Every structure is written in structure tokens, then in C-alpha cells.
Structure 1
Amino acid sequence: MNTINIKELSELVNGELIGDTSLLITGPEQLERAQSSHISFIGNRKYIKLWNSSKAMAAIINDNIDLDPEEGQALIRVKNADLAMVKILEAFDPGQPQLESGIHATATIHETAKIGSNCVIGAGCYVGKDVVLGDNVFLYPNVTILDETSIGNNTTIWSGTVIRERTEIGSYCIFHSNVSIGSDGFGYRPSDDGRGLVKIPQIGNVVIGHQVEIGANSCVDRGKFSSTVIGDGCKIDNLVQIGHNSVMGRSCIMAGGSGLAGSVTLGDGVIIGGSASIKDHTTVHSGATVGGGSGVMSDVAAGKTVLGYPACDSKDMLKQWIALRNLAKN
């Protein structure tokens, strides 16, 4: 187990150390689970009561919170405890599972595929015809990459992920286990005789920018024509559905269980809460936020926060909920 002196951690986060400077820290932990050798985090005054009952002897704390350490404790004051937590977690990170360098003997690589330098391709992987992998691409065991796909430098793809043909992926991306990229979009129409459904061919592709992270078991469908697009820096949680021909701008966030129907457009910096759903052919403009569990049925203006089902201005929806609660009391 890695052990770091509290003074080193304070220097790492450029913080002000107050209290016992001799503490040895074995790792970070949340306040209610921490033991005496752990360091924790206080980014909000509401967590002070947890600190008072915690076994942790050290904490990273926002500098606008009035709290002093007791004997044997230490606090590191910083401007933003959440951002300081990133550096602490990196310091104690045990690292990812290691594979043998190069291409595993059981991987199947098509003769036309182009593999960049220092790539690692694990057991059971398949890399298809005319695939192009940049430098330092890391494929964990049992990843499938089908024909004419291109993947940029320093991208990591975890086991079970399937990337369909003609997908374009940027650099420094992370796809977690069992992600599906480029499956057919959900397109059907009633047949002329009314006895069945006609499948609409989905002949487009998926284009993913740089520094995109996609959580486990999420799906990004190919376009019916042209492309489904995910912009640079987007972060997508587990179990998210992105429908065909949707376009996400830069640095959007989609929490777990949320979904975009077909041909949805998100501007830059849009936040979609957990289990929220966005109707097809709807635009959510830059900087807007959709609350968890909401159903967006029409366009959302830039910077606006919407909530509820159907979603409307969050303040209006909260007033409706209060009115309904008061009505129930009468």
C-alpha cells in the first residue's frame, strides 16, 4: 500500500497545511467510511457534521469553510476541494491492469490494417479490414473493431466493446466495457399491406471527437445517412443511448440511463441528468441543463434549466410541484 506524508500531499495540491504535519496517509476515503490513516474531502459546509464523527485524521477543505483541526488532525485548505481531490486520487492510483506489450498471439489482425507504434492489443481482439490505429492505442481483451474504422492516438478501449465499420474516433478517448459504437439506428416504417414493419437501412457512420469518455454498456447508433456525431470532450455515463443522426457539441455531459432519440442536437456544454430523455428532432442549445428524469419534448433555449415531464422551466415546474403537494393536503 502506498503511503504519503501529509506535507507532500499539501504541496501536491498547493494547499495550506494546518495541524499535525507528521501524519502518514494510506489513501483517500469518504468521511463516513474513513479510518485514521485516510484523507477525506470537505467541499461543502453540510459535510462538517460528518467530519466531526469521522475517524479520518486529515481532510482537504475549501478555504471558505471555517473549520480548525483538533489535536492529531490536519486540514489542507485549498480553493476547490473537488479539483484537489483529482490530484490526490492520481497520487494513490494503483494503475490499470497490465497486458503484455504488442499484439497477443490470439488476436486477429487483418492484413490490410495499419497499426501505429506502441499499440497493445489483447487476447481475442479482432481488428478488421483497412482499420487504422494511431500510436499508443490500448485494446483490452475481446475488443472488436470492424472494417475501415480509424482510431486516434492514445485511445483506450476496454473489453467487450464493439466498434462497427467506418467509425471515426479521435485521440485520448476512453471507452469502457461493452460499449457499442455504430450499431444500426432504430428505423422502421409500416409496410404497404399493413401486416408488418419495413426496416430502413442505416448506411451512415459515427464520428467521435478527441478526449471523449463513454461509460460501460452505452450505445451510439450509426446515422441513417451521414453521421452521428459526438464532439470533443464529451463525457457519457453508463447505460446511455444516443440515437441515429444525433449531434453532440463540445464538452456535453450525459448521466446514466439518459437517452437521445434520433436527430437530436445538443449545443456545447449541455448537461443531461440521469434517466432524462430527449425527443427526436429536438435541439437543446448550448449551456442548457436537463434535470434528472425529465422528458424534453421541445427545443430548450441556451443556458436554460428544464425539469419534469414534459420538461419546462425548472422554476415553473417546482411551483407546480408545490401547488400539487398543497392541493393534496386540502
Structure 2
Amino acid sequence: MILQELVDDLGGSLVQGDPEWMVDGVNSCEKAGAFDLAFADSDATVTAALASNAGVVVLKPGAAKQYPHGKCIVESDQPKLWFAKAAQLVKKQTHVAGIAHSAVVAQDAKVDQGVLVGPCAVIGTHARIGDGTIIGAGAVIGENVTIGRHCHIYPRVVIYPGTTLGDHVVLHAGAVLGADGFGYVRDSISGAYAQFPQQGTLVIEDDVEIGANSTVDRGALEETRIRRGTKIDNLVHVGHNCDIGENVILVSLTGISGSSTVGKGAVLAGQVGIGDHVHVGPGVILGGQAGVFSGKTISNEGQRPGTVMFGTPARPLKQVLREQAMLAKLTREARQGKKAEVPESDELPA
């Protein structure tokens, strides 16, 4: 891909170099070659990037007073983002469309041209697969599943019947989408459990990526929805009837119980636990191992932008640290046989 095409697609300014320069890939400053793109987003990395063998360097406007002769320079306000997007554009497509001999494809399934179906994959009746999609080896696509264009379904993914995927969706190995939610009704007399109907749907919107061995359940009577641009790490579970907003980040070992919502742009770090019927507001950041009790709402209202919530129940980090300091003081004074004084300004959890 030529450099000018990248600039036209991604913006920024080509301030030095040949607009027809060929860019074959992206790489680190240490490993980049003449046809690679590198980036620098801090003063510390500018010198290394400009001294590297990279043919093209993207950096912030005015990052250096003088640029080395013969090197292509692109200026962007967000060089790391520019670099990441360029990587997607120059990525070479290595797959060849076609259906492996050992794959099993239902006769009434609609598989568009340009689709690759790997060995031992199974595509069920009335399924629809969009152009440019890759179905990995051993993947199972259930009946009435719809998969959009240019998706990548890695090996051993299982997509249950009735699930819908948009365009440019990535599902890593072992992910399971659309399984029954964990919903049971207990007989108060016998103690036995009967499954509540799990007959809803699952919708995954465009540009969603779901990590290896993560699971997303279908709705019980309605739908579960993962909205555009959300990124889900490995080993995450999303329960039935959940609505996960746009551009949400869910990090490994996070669990979200049924009928919960997560607002646009929220970040849930590793091992966060969300009870059922919880509402996490837009932009909320929950730190590692934070927890939200069932039925609660957590938002940024009254907090500074970027406030990180920690602990269970989740609350601002500053408050958590104050409580820990007070607990340490109480413990210390108890050992010394003194009565601790608790300042009125400190709020201890109920």
C-alpha cells in the first residue's frame, strides 16, 4: 500500500518524503526495515524512531526540529492510533477462498464468494456467511446464524442457532456465543430446579472482538446485545439479557450476571464481578477485582472524569485508600489499648 493512500484514509500530514513510498507492514523501531512503518509518541522514543531503519515514521507535530534526509515523516496528533489503524490497512490477506473437503455445509446455507471454510468446520441449515469471512477449522456455525462480511471466526468457535454477527467481527479460538443462560426456577416444595425458557437471541454488532474461551449467553425471552466496537478479552462471561454498550472494554476473568447493562465507553478491568440487574453507567472505570452488588447502579455522577472505582462495593479509589488507612489506624491503636478517633469527614462503607 502506498503512503499517500494511508494518509488519505487516516488523515495526518505527510511533511517529508515520497508520497508513492510503498508500505508493506508495521514494526518496532528496532526491527523496522525500509518498507515498514514505525511510530513515536513521546520525546523518549522520537530519537530512536528517527534513527531507525524504518522507511516511514509517524509522530506528533513538531516532535523534532529537523528530520533525517530520505525518511518519510507523517505527523499526527495521535501517532499510536494512526500506527494501529495503518497496521490493519496494510495487513496482507493470506487466505484463499474456498470450502475444505472435510467441512460440512448445509445445502441451504448461503455462503458468499470470498469465504474460507476450514477443515472439519460445520455450517448449519439456513446459515448465512458474508463475503470475505474466514471460518476456522472445527468451528461450528448453528442453524439460522447470520455472519456479516470480513469476519474472522477462529478454530473451535461455537455459535449457537439464531445468533447474528455484524461486519468485521473477530471471535478467537474456543469462544462460545448464544448458549443458554443460567436461569432456573426452584420448586419450593421439592427443591428441584426447572430451567426458565432460554429462547431469546444474541446480537453482536460491527467491529466487536471477543477473546479466546469467552462466552456470551443468548437472551432468555428477549435478546443479549454486544454493541459496536466493544472489545472483550479472554475468559470473560456475559450472561443472558445483558446489553453491553459501544466501545466497552471487558478484561479477562470479568463476569457479568444476567439482565445487566454496561454503558458506552466503560472499562471493566480484570476479575470484575457484576451482579444481576446492575447498571454500569457510560464511561465508568472499574479497577481490578471491583464488584457491584445485584440491582445497583454505578455512575460517574459527582466524580471527576477518569475516576477509577475499586473494591466491593465499588467506590472511588481515593475513598478506598482513606478507608484502608483508617482501618490500619484502628488496628494499630487497638493493639496499643487506645481508643481511635474517627474523623467525621471519612465515610466508611455501610
1:140 paired residue among 136, 142, 150: 136
Q: Which whole-Å CA distance do the structure 2 matches of 1:258 and 1:79 have between them? A: 33
Q: Is the 8 A contact 1:39 1:56 kept in 2?
A: no
Q: Which whole-Å CA distance do the structure 2 matches of 1:10 and 1:286 have between them? A: 32
Q: Which whole-Å CA distance do the structure 1 matches of 2:218 and 2:322 have between them? A: 40
Q: Which residue of 1 aligns with 2:311?
A: 309
Q: Which residue of 2 aligns with 1:256?
A: 252
1:318 Cα offset (Å):
4.2
Q: Which residue of 2 aligns with 1:85?
A: 83
Q: Which residue of 2 aligns with 1:192?
A: 188
Q: Indicate how the Cα distance of structure 1 residues 36 and 248 shifts in structure 2: closer, same or farther if over 3 A, else same.
A: closer
Q: Which amino acid aligns with 1:235?
A: K
1:299 paired residue among 297, 303, 325: 297
Q: Are 1:207 and 2:203 counterparts?
A: yes
Q: Indicate how the Cα distance of structure 1 residues 91 and 285 shifts in structure 2: closer, same or farther if over 3 A, else same.
A: closer
1:36 Cα offset (Å):
9.0
Q: Which whole-Å CA distance do the structure 1 matches of 2:183 and 2:31 have between them? A: 50
Q: Which whole-Å CA distance do the structure 1 matches of 2:284 and 2:63 have between them? A: 30
Q: Indicate how the Cα distance of structure 1 residues 239 and 79 shifts in structure 2: closer, same or farther if over 3 A, else same.
A: same
Q: Which whole-Å CA distance do the structure 2 matches of 1:10 and 1:68 have between them? A: 21
Q: Are 1:125 and 2:124 counterparts?
A: no
**1:227-285, Cα deviation, whole Å (9 max, x unpaired):** 11111222222221111110112222222222211111122222222222222101112
Q: Which whole-Å CA distance do the structure 1 matches of 2:132 and 2:90 have between them? A: 24
**1:35-88, Cα deviation, whole Å (9 max, x unpaired):** 89887544245xx28967x99566644347578789999986532221232255
Q: Indicate how the Cα distance of structure 1 residues 246 and 89 shifts in structure 2: closer, same or farther if over 3 A, else same.
A: same
Q: Indicate how the Cα distance of structure 1 residues 17 and 256 shifts in structure 2: closer, same or farther if over 3 A, else same.
A: farther
Structure 2 residues not aligned, in runs of 5+: 17-21, 334-350
Q: Which amino acid aligns with 1:264?
A: S
1:128 Cα offset (Å):
0.8
Q: Are 1:320 and 2:323 counterparts?
A: yes
Q: Which residue of 2 aligns with 1:173?
A: 169
Paired residue secondary structure (2:82): helix
2:60 paired residue among 54, 59, 62: 62
Q: Which whole-Å CA distance do the structure 1 matches of 2:76 and 2:66 have between them? A: 14
Q: Which amino acid aligns with 2:289?
A: G
Paired residue secondary structure (1:307): strand
Counting aligned pairs with the same residue, the percent is 28
Q: Which residue of 1 aligns with 2:95?
A: 98
Q: Are 1:274 and 2:274 counterparts?
A: no
Q: Indicate how the Cα distance of structure 1 residues 64 and 270 shifts in structure 2: closer, same or farther if over 3 A, else same.
A: farther
Q: Which amino acid aligns with 1:313?
A: P
Question: Which shifted more, 212-221 or 149-158?
Answer: 149-158
Paired residue secondary structure (2:202): strand
Q: Indicate how the Cα distance of structure 1 residues 139 and 27 shifts in structure 2: closer, same or farther if over 3 A, else same.
A: closer
Q: Which whole-Å CA distance do the structure 1 matches of 2:164 and 2:241 have between them? A: 14
Decide which structure has the larger Cα Rg and report it. Answer: 2
Q: Which whole-Å CA distance do the structure 1 matches of 2:25 and 2:128 have between them? A: 40
Q: Which whole-Å CA distance do the structure 2 matches of 1:231 and 1:301 have between them? A: 19
Q: Which whole-Å CA distance do the structure 2 matches of 1:69 and 1:158 have between them? A: 42
Q: Which amino acid aligns with 1:98?
A: H
Question: Which shifted more, 178-187 or 64-73?
Answer: 64-73
1:146 Cα offset (Å):
0.8
TM-score w.r.t. length of structure 1: 0.78
Q: Which residue of 2 aligns with 1:21?
A: none
Q: Is the 8 A contact 1:10 1:17 kept in 2?
A: no
1:30 Cα offset (Å):
5.0
Q: Which whole-Å CA distance do the structure 2 matches of 1:25 and 1:137 have between them? A: 25
Over the residues paired in the alignment, what is the CA RMSD in angstroms?
4.0
**1:84-123, Cα deviation, whole Å (9 max, x unpaired):** 3225534774x35524x22222111112222223322121
Q: Indicate how the Cα distance of structure 1 residues 10 and 149 shifts in structure 2: closer, same or farther if over 3 A, else same.
A: closer
Q: Are 1:162 and 2:126 counterparts?
A: no
Q: Which whole-Å CA distance do the structure 1 matches of 2:332 and 2:42 have between them? A: 34
Structure 1 residues not aligned, in runs of 5+: 19-23
1:213 Cα offset (Å):
1.6
**1:146-191, Cα deviation, whole Å (9 max, x unpaired):** 1111122222211111000111222221212111101111223444
Q: Indicate how the Cα distance of structure 1 residues 72 and 231 shifts in structure 2: closer, same or farther if over 3 A, else same.
A: closer
1:34 Cα offset (Å):
5.4
